[in-house]
Amino acid sequence: MRGPNAKSTDRARSLRREQTAAESKLWACLRNRQLDGVKFSRQVSIGPYFADFCCREAKLVIEIDGVTHETPEELSSDDRRSAWLKAQGFRVIRFRNEELMGDLDAVLERIQLSL
């Protein structure tokens, strides 16, 4: 799953530079093992996908969904993606931008419970 792949590395770097306000807000709380001493990475390449945030140790993927995730096509794509990640042994939790921006403490609590 992990390894040197110039194309996916470049894409991950691009996604990190262009993170949304919600992703930035959550990353400020997850980086440097700030949440329960657990290591999280952002925009992690896992197979054909990029996880917004991933704790490899706990096999936990966190996805932040904005308005682009409201169409039937995107919802179907998200379901396929989650199913694939689950088949690889990951647990996937999703938050909407509004959830994260409106009640960060509740989001962090749910992440802690998922760990």
Domain boundaries, the chain: 6-114
Q: What is the CATH number of domain 6-114?
A: 3.40.960.10
Is pTM, for the whole model, over 0.85? no
Kindly report the average pLDDT of the chain as a whole number.
88
Q: How do residues 4-55 score in pLDDT, each as one tens digit?
A: 566 666 655 666 667 888 999 999 999 999 999 999 999 898 999 989 999 9
Sign of CA dihedral 18, 22, 24, 27: negative
Give which of 47, 40, 50 is closest to 14, Cα–Cα: 50
- Residue 19: predicted pLDDT: 82
Phi and psi at 88, nearest 5°, equal -90, 0
